[in-house]
Amino acid sequence: MVPIQVTATLRGTIALRNAIALDGLLGAAVCMRDGVTPPMTEAEIACPEIPVAKSACGRVYLATVSVGEAELRHRRWTNRRFPLAEAQSMGAASVRRINISGGPCKSYRIPLETMMLRDDQLRWWCVGDEDAVRRLLTEEVGYLGARRAVGQGAVREWTVERCEPWGDGFPVVRDGEPMRSLPPDWPGLAPDVERAFRVCLPPYWRRSREELCAVPRWT
Amino acid sequence: MTTTTETTPAAPIKRRERRRYEFLLQAMSPIAHHSNVDGNIASFFRKPVRVPGGIEEVLYLTADTMRHLIRESAAYATLDAIGALDDPNLSEAALRLLFAGGMLTGRGDSQAIKLDFYRELVDLVPSLGLLGGCADARMVPGKTVVEDATLVCEETMSYLPEWAVRHASALLGFDEGHLDSGTNYAELVQRVRMDPMMDPAKVQLLSAGARAEVEGRLVASETAHATDDAKARDASKVTMMPFRYERMVQGSVLFWAVEATCHTDLEMDTLDTMVWTAMANARVGGKRGTGHGLLKPVALQEIRNNRPFGPVRVSMRLLGDARTEVRIEDRPPPGEMFRAHVAARATKVREFLQKVNA
**Best residue in B22, B99, B162 for a mutation probing chain A (most A CBs within 10 Å):** B99
Residue B67 to residue A139, Cβ atoms within 8 A: no
Q: Does B65 touch chain A (CB under 8 A)?
A: no
Check if B47 contacts A (Cβ < 8 Å): yes
Mark yes or no for CB contact B90/A90 under 8 Å.
yes
Tell me which chain B residues have a C-beta less than 8 angstroms from the C-beta of A151.
63, 145-148, 257
C-alpha distances in Å from residue B47, one per residue of A113, A146, B59: 12, 17, 7
Interface of B with A in 283-342 (CB under 8 A): 306
Per-residue pLDDT tens over the stretch B105-154: 666 544 444 556 677 778 888 998 899 887 766 677 788 999 999 999 99
A60-75 in b/e form (b: 16+ CB < 10 A) is: bbbbbbbebeeeeebe
Residues 143-172 of A with CB under 8 A from B: 143, 148-151, 154, 156
The pLDDT tens digits for B155-202 are: 999 999 999 999 999 999 999 888 999 999 999 999 999 888 888 898
Q: With an 8 Å Cβ cutoff, are B91 and A95 in contact?
A: yes
Which pLDDT score, from 0 to 100, does residue B326 have? 41
10 Å Cβ neighbour count for B240?
12
With pLDDT > 90 as the criterion, what percentage of chain A qualifies? 66
Give the gap in angstroms from C-alpha B222 to the nearest C-alpha of chain A: 42
Interval B288-292 mean pLDDT: 93
Residue whose C-alpha is closest to residue B156's, from B48, B61, B67, B308: B48
B205-251 pLDDT, tens digit per residue, is 999 999 998 888 888 888 988 888 888 888 888 888 899 999 999 99
Residue type for position A217: R
CB atoms within 10 A of CB A117: 22
Please say if the pLDDT value at position B34 is more than 60.
yes
CB B303 within 8 A of CB B19: yes
pLDDT of residue B328 exceeding 50: no
Residue B5: its pLDDT value, please? 42
Whether chain A has a CB inside 8 Å of the CB on B41: the answer is no
Contact B91 A92 (CB under 8 A): yes
Quickly state the pLDDT bin for A90 (edges 50, 70, 90): confident
* Nearest by CB: B47 against A74, A83, A92: A74
Asked if the C-beta of B96 comes within 8 angstroms of chain A's C-beta atoms, the answer is yes
pLDDT for A98: 85
What is this model's ipTM? 0.81
Q: How far apart are CA A215 and CA A213, in angstroms?
A: 6
The answer to whether B95 contacts A95, with C-beta atoms less than 8 Å apart, is yes
Q: Given CB atoms, is A32 within the 8 Å cutoff of chain B?
A: yes
Mutate to test the interface with A, among B18, B22, B50 (most CBs of A within 10 A): B50
pLDDT at A21 over 70: yes
- Cβ-count burial of A101 within 10 angstroms (0-12 exposed, 13-18 middle, 19+ buried)? exposed
In this prediction, residue B137 carries a pLDDT of 67
pLDDT (tens digit per residue) in A143-195: 999 999 999 999 999 999 999 999 889 999 999 999 999 999 999 999 999 99
- Please indicate if any CB of chain B lies within 8 Å of the CB of A80: yes
**How far apart are the C-alpha atoms of A24 and A8, rounded to whole Å?**
15
Instruction: Work out the average pLDDT over B26-35.
Output: 95
Average pLDDT (B47-53) is 92
A12 interfacial to chain B (CB closer than 8 Å): yes
Amino acid in position A12: G
> Which residues 173-212 of A are in CB contact (within 8 Å) with B?
none
In chain B, whose CA is at the least distance from the CA of A86? B95
Residue B316 has pLDDT above 60, yes or no: no
Residues of B in contact with A79 (CB under 8 A): 64
Whether the predicted pLDDT of A119 surpasses 70: yes
For residue A43, name the pLDDT band (cuts at 50, 70, 90).
confident
**How far is residue A175's CA from residue A188's CA, in Å, rounded to a whole number?**
8
Residue A181's pLDDT is 94
Q: What is residue A168's predicted lDDT score, i.e. its pLDDT?
A: 86
pLDDT of residue B330 exceeding 80: no
What is the model's pLDDT at position B196? Answer: 87
Instruction: List, as one string, the DSSP characters of A45-111.
Output: --PPP-SBPBPTTSSSBSB-B-B--EEEEEEEEEEE---HHHHHHHB-TT-----SSSGGG--EEEE
| HSE-CB of A194 using CA atoms within 13 angstroms | 12
What three-state secondary structure class fits B259?
A: strand
Residue in A94, A142, A156 closest to B91 by CB: A94
What local confidence, expressed as pLDDT, does residue B318 receive?
44
Amino acid identity, position B41: I
Q: In sequence order, which residues have a C-beta less than 8 Å from that of residue A69 and are 6 or more positions away?
A: A117, A118
Burial class for B248, CB neighbours closer than 10 Å (0-12, 13-18, 19+): buried
Query: Nearest chain A Cα to B71, which residue?
Result: A83
Q: Cβ separation of B96 and A104 shorter than 8 Å?
A: yes
pLDDT at B106: 60
Q: Please write down the HEC assignment for all residues of B288-319.
A: HHHCCCEEEEEEEEEEECCEECCCCECCCCCC
Q: Which of B47, B115, B147 sits opposite A154 (nearest CB)?
A: B147
d(CA B271, CA B279): 12
Cβ contact, residue pair B95, A90, below 8 Å = yes
Evaluate the omega torsion of the peptide bond into residue A203 and state whether it is cis, within 30 degrees of 0: yes
- Which of B115 and B57 is assigned the larger pLDDT? B57
Q: Is the pLDDT of residue A127 over 90?
A: yes
Chain center to CA of B235: 42
User: Pairing state of beta strands A155-162 and A2-10?
Assistant: antiparallel
* pLDDT classification of B332: cutoffs 50, 70, 90: low
Nearest to A145 by CA among A61, A24, A52: A24
Closest Cα of chain B to A82: distance in Å? 7
- From CA B312, how far away is CA B289, in angstroms rounded? 34
B329: which DSSP letter?
A: -
In angstroms, the CA A200 to CA A211 distance is: 8
What pLDDT does B304 receive? 84
Tell me which chain B residue has its CA closest to the CA of residue A33.
Answer: B16
Instruction: Report how far residue A182's alpha carbon sits from residue A185's, in angstroms, rounded to the nearest whole number.
Output: 8
Interchain contact, B261 vs A32, CB within 8 Å: yes
Q: What pLDDT score does B116 carry?
A: 65
- pLDDT per residue over A48-86, tens digit each? 899 999 999 999 999 999 999 999 999 888 888 888 888
CB B247 within 8 A of CB B189: yes
pLDDT, greater one: B313 or A22: A22
The shortest CB-CB distance from A92 to any of B47, B89, B141 is to: B89
Q: Quick check: A151 and B257 CB within 8 A?
A: yes
Backbone angles phi, psi at B37, to 5 degrees: -125, 125
For B18, residues 6+ apart whose C-beta sits below 8 A from its C-beta are B259, B260, B261, B262, B304, B305, B306
**Using an 8 Å Cβ cutoff, are B46 and B55 in contact?**
no
Label residue B8 by pLDDT band (50, 70, 90): very low
Question: Smallest Cβ distance to A35: which of B55, B146, B263?
Answer: B263
Which residues from chain B sit within 8 angstroms of residue A32, using beta carbons?
261
Q: List CB contacts (< 8 A) between B50 and chain A.
A: 12, 116, 120
Among A191, A185, A187, which residue's Cα sits nearest to residue A170? A187
Encoded amino acid at B282, one letter: A
pLDDT at residue B338 is higher than 70:
yes
Question: Average pLDDT over chain B, rounded to whole?
Answer: 84
Instruction: State the Cα–Cα distance between residues A168 and A174, nearest whole angstrom.
Output: 8
